[in-house]
Amino acid sequence: MNRKILVGGAWPYANGSFHIGHLASLLPGDVIARYHRACKDQVYYVSGSDCHGTPVALRAKAEGKTPQEISDLYHEEFVDCFKRLGFSYDCYTKTSDKHHKDFIQEFHKKLYESELVYEKETPQAYCEECKSFLADRFVTGLCPKCGAPARGDQCDACGTVLDPENLKEPICATCGKSITFRTSKHLYIAISKLEKELKELCEGGQDWRKNAVAFTERYIGEGLRDRALTRDLDWGIPVPKEGYENKTIYIWAENVLGYLSAAKRVTEENGESFEELFGKDAKHYYVHGKDNIPFHTIILPALLIAHGAGYHLPDQIVSSEYQTLEGRKISTSQNYAIWVKDVLDRYDPDSLRYYFLANGPEKKDADFSWTEYVNSHNGELLGAYGNFINRSLTFINKYFDGIVPEGTLSEEWDETLHNLYADTGRKIEKGNFKDAIEGVFEVIRKANKYFDEKEPWKTRTRDVLTCKNTLYECTQIIANLAVILAPFLPFSSEKVLGWLNISKDWEYKTVPAGYALPEIQILFERLDKSVIEEERARLNLE
């Protein structure tokens, strides 16, 4: 029976443009989704733009626009970037969408019936200058534990989880003025009472990345804190409870539930079962960056458990480390970033996908450099993969009238290709994308060596049967490489699969002798070394 697979990609925050750090952390989700579809599993790949909260409202205020206008602007940019990058979402929506809002309000109505939800009066940070309550991250001050500069939700220096009222010398991060605290009544979820369930989930997370396990164990070890479900903000989803008419649902308590709202939308549109997708027999992947770990290993499970419907909890946490740029931290405020919408105008999307899958921050921080990018593209993608396809198929077109010659695939190559399907699939399912793509390129390098050793340019006149067999074997190798690389490199694979008239189903392929090839195009263009300095100049490096 085909498996039901949910792939949840983190929801980018719609208050600024999409950069390579976002790309590096989200790209694995598309590989997982494409792979499982090729295996004929029932895939639901969902995500959307995170549109609510204080940062969007502040950006809108600074630009003289409404929060809806700002979030819609960036949502459209994200949609365009994902489309051009080949992300194959089954549903990419936004938290300001009516379907999401309706789902969230229904979820929260049921959630509020739980014994784990209670009311509490609590101090809320308020800025007299901005005339608004502030989200925790928009309060800054000094950490009470180590004395370093910290935000109201966490100290990055020592890792202590904070509340704004704990900070020393708290100020508004937007205007820099001192803040006050006003008492306000809110709904809270008693995450502290879920320590046993969350600990068991973490201990059972055999397919969680190490950073997800380490972070979650630390949060549990330090003592889980109850979290507010509601907030004194205008821009957000109204709280569906009497007496809370002027409050909205706290952003963290609705954005992570977007996986459910988007999945429900897809299942409804397809006439399929949402309950089965969130039942015990499904498999759920959550793909995101390091800073989103607690939202997927603590917050989301807590909400699902407290809701009481028995929803499926996360199976696999695919959490990347940090992506840096030319040896420095990416900074959107200082405009020190590579914006995806711009770089897509200049470079092949498969080239970008290849680089961040082969060199991204999978298990440790990774640095992007333009020198490495150009060398990677020219050396591996073009020099190894593109070159093998081009030299093999154009040879057939030139000397055999474009007809795949008669031949027999050796046992060695047959075994190599069959094993490559199994090994690559296993690595994708484990979240080991670097190892997976490196394994494929080992076979590509072996194929190039085989072509060189067989010297078809010589055997064409000396031993035509050997020449034909070489080219027949190379055609079979290309066909199976294109299928195996399709989840990683969808655009170039689609071209090759079209040339050879084969499907992208995850199964061994054979191109019959006598098949007529079309005209073959070059898959990848060489990048001139001059682009390295051109791109570095765009970054205004000192």
Find, among 448, 450, 444, 425, the residue nearest to 435 by Cα: 425
Find, among 385, 393, 390, the residue nearest to 350 by Cα: 385
Alpha helices, DSSP H, located in 329-455: 340-343, 349-359, 370-376, 387-399, 411-430, 433-454
DSSP SS3 for 370: helix
pLDDT of 408 reads 97
Q: Tens place of pLDDT for every residue, the chain, 542 residues? A: 589 999 999 999 999 999 999 999 999 999 999 999 999 999 999 999 999 987 888 788 889 999 999 999 999 999 999 999 999 999 999 999 999 999 999 999 999 999 999 999 988 899 998 888 887 878 999 999 899 999 888 787 887 778 888 899 999 988 899 999 999 899 999 999 999 999 999 998 778 999 999 999 999 998 999 999 999 888 899 999 999 998 999 999 999 999 999 999 999 999 999 999 999 899 999 999 999 999 999 999 999 999 999 999 999 999 999 999 999 999 888 889 999 999 999 999 999 999 999 999 999 999 999 999 999 999 999 999 999 999 999 999 999 999 999 999 999 999 999 999 999 999 999 999 999 999 999 999 999 999 999 999 999 999 999 999 999 999 999 999 999 999 999 999 999 999 999 999 999 999 999 999 999 999 999 999 999 999 999 997 65
- DSSP designation for 282: -
- Rounded to a whole number of angstroms, the distance between the first and last alpha carbons of the chain is 58
DSSP SS3 for 228: strand
CB 213 within 8 A of CB 202: yes
CB 263 within 8 A of CB 46: yes
Query: Rounded to an integer, what distance in angstroms lies between the CA atom of residue 249 and that of residue 339?
Result: 31
CB 490 within 8 A of CB 34: yes
pLDDT of 1 reads 56
CB within 8 A of 96, min separation 6: which ones? 51, 52, 68, 71, 72
CB 125 within 8 A of CB 139: yes
Find, among 258, 200, 381, 245, the residue nearest to 8 by Cα: 258
CB 86 within 8 A of CB 486: no
CB 3 within 8 A of CB 41: yes
Query: Rounded to an integer, what distance in angstroms lies between the CA atom of residue 357 and that of residue 188?
Result: 40
Find, among 337, 377, 348, the residue nearest to 495 by Cα: 348
DSSP SS3 for 392: helix
Task: Please report, for residues 32, 90, 147, 272, 284, the alpha-carbon distance to residue 43 in angstroms, rounded to integers and kept in the order given.
Answer: 9, 8, 48, 12, 10
Find, among 188, 189, 186, the residue nearest to 233 by Cα: 186
Q: Would you state the structure tokens that stand for residue 163, as one six-digit string?
A: 């509340």
pLDDT of 232 reads 87
Positive or negative: CA dihedral 62, 68, 69, 74: positive
| Per-residue 3-state assignment (H helix, E strand, C coil) for 43-92 | EEEEEEEECCCHHHHHHHHHHCCCHHHHHHHHHHHHHHHHHHHCCCCCEE
CB 232 within 8 A of CB 184: yes
Q: Would you state the structure tokens that stand for residue 395, as one six-digit string?
A: 């040879």
Number of Cα atoms under 13 Å in the Cβ half of residue 518: 9
Q: Would you state the structure tokens that stand for residue 420, as one six-digit string?
A: 């490559």
Q: Is the pTM of this model over 0.75?
A: yes
Which phi and psi angles does 476 have, rounded to 5°?
Answer: -65, -40
